[in-house]
Chains A and B, each alone.
Chain A
Amino acid sequence: MTNWTLTAKKRLGTILSAETWLPTEMPEYAQGFMYMLGSLTASSFVVLILSGIVLAMNGPETWATNGLMRFTAATHFWAVQAFFFFMMLHLWRVFFTGAWRGGRGKTWLLGAIAFLVAIPTAFTGFLINGDLYSQWNAVQGKDGINAMGLGWVNLTNASQMFGMHVVVMPLVLGAVIALHITLVRLKSVVPPYPTAASQSTKGVSDQ
């Protein structure tokens, strides 16, 4: 019977290695602002987690009444905007460069799942703020959720949404993002398309 520990040790040895996570060189094509977009998205997620921890520690009532918490809520709000903004730019970049080539389909799929999961993650956050936007989106959104057979997710119950937003959704989203980045590190970023000028030269890749 397979030794689970040995198998895990062997695989994780590569996955968790400093070589994987702390590269000191990059492909020459992976330079410039276009190759910062993924990191900017991940950085926005880090800012969301940090500001979210401060908000969660103090409780929803303080977000509307305490000056410092209102400011923290503002950073959380703008970090969400930054997260989706950079994620969208990153999505365009990876689409227009055909980033799924060379056996990177799973990396693309995980990125798409991260985008999908990020939507309810943000939405549940809006629902626990207690302002008019929260109120409106809870009562309006419930019809769609109920219609899809997800009625146990009670958008009008702020405590359930608090648990979803503070624990469940960030854990799921964080895990998907972590897997996505792990695959990016293991397989590196996709090389460019060959140009027409070089069609006559040989050099089929084996990715």
Chain B
Amino acid sequence: MKPTTDIVKQYRMVPEDFLKHLFATLGIVIGLVLLASLLFGVPEKPPLTIQTYANAHPLSFEQVSLRALDGQGRIANYGPPYNHGTGSVQSGLQTGVGILYPVNTATDFVLHPLAMTAAMNPTVKSAIATFDAAPPAVQQRWEAAYTTALTHGHVVQGTVITPAGHYGPLPSLMHGFLTLGQSGLLSGALVRNSAVTTRFDNQNYLLFLQGDPLHNDPGTQSMKGENWGIIHPAVNGYPGAWWMTIPTWIYQWPFVANAAAADALALSIGFLFWLFLAVTPWIPGWNRLPRHLGIHRLVWKTFYRSSERVGTIHRAS
């Protein structure tokens, strides 16, 4: 092996009960964990469900749904791995992955779930037929007009009321969809998979709520990126993922925060920080820093005292 000059060579071996040491540390951890669990429990806030959102914010629910239908929503124009959009593409790597989990928000989020209710709701059935039969340009005209109408809309007893206008079947469609959301059945329609009986993939449930519903939820405000959110828990007073402090700090750098590819930048720079740490042993100068910092003197205080007493410490540098 390559000779080194920064290591004490002479030291004594002292008796040790290694198994006792291991069981002692295990006992300490079990004790601490049980105590914390008994005293503090587990920090959890109830999730935001589609039903909760539809009942609490009928107007916003219709706006979110209409953006899914007309292709103006963030997921509708996201890009890979969901679709061919470009709105959320941050890197060539992202594009290279391709469409792995196809999402067409108009059909997957709105029209297919609505079509299932059509069997029970004749109004929705005829509205879907009218919408499907209309040329795309007409559909877009209705959607644009209804988008404007919703900005002047208000809610009466859980139903959205808009000014009169030429919206085609959209008021019936959106009312039917709001009713579906308020019933609690939309989540089931979003996670259904006709090929299997299991319901493992909840992607569309989460993606439906990922924009305004979750971003405007009072419970998520402290967890937003601009608020150092990655390291914040959902329940104040509990520890969060504090080990992500450096990436969270990088997210606050103005040139990262304001970049279109903020996530790609922050995570890449964060990885470089880790890489620097990982290759510490091979970085000249940096790998000798601890010796100059002197904190090792505290760690090995007892050893240095006893060794200096008997004069067994050796050094060649």
Contact = CB atoms under 8 A, between A and B. Distances in A.
A13 interface: no
Interface string B7-48: 111111111111101101110111011101100111111111
B4 A148 contact: no
Chain A contact residues: over half helix, strand or loop, or mixed?
Answer: helix
B90 A147 contact: yes
Interface stretch (B121-129, B135-143, B200-208): B200-208
Given A29-B300, A47-B30, A64-B44, A84 B242 contact: yes
A63 B26 CA distance: 24
Contacts of A154: 81, 100-101, 203
Contact of A139 (B209, B239, B241): B209
Interface string A70-103: 1101110111011010101000010111101111
Interface stretch (A1-9, A34-42, A165-173): A34-42
A125 to B, nearest CB: 10
B164 interface: no
Interface centre among A148, A157, A197, A206 (most CB of B within 10 A): A148
Given A123-B241, A195-B315, A78 B203 contact: no
Contact of A149 (B28, B91, B225): B91
Interface stretch (B57-65, B111-119, B167-175, B276-284): B276-284
Contacts of A109: 278-279, 281
Contacts of A17: none
Contact of B41 (A74, A102, A151, A206): A74
A206 B3 contact: yes
Interface string A165-199: 00000000000000000000000001111111111
Interface of B: 1-19, 21-22, 24-26, 28-30, 32-34, 36-37, 40-48, 80-81, 88, 90-91, 93-94, 96-97, 100-101, 200-203, 206-207, 209-210, 214, 217, 219-220, 223, 225, 229, 233-234, 239, 241-244, 261, 263-264, 266-268, 274, 277-282, 287-288, 290-291, 293, 295-297, 299-300, 302-304, 306, 308, 311, 313-317
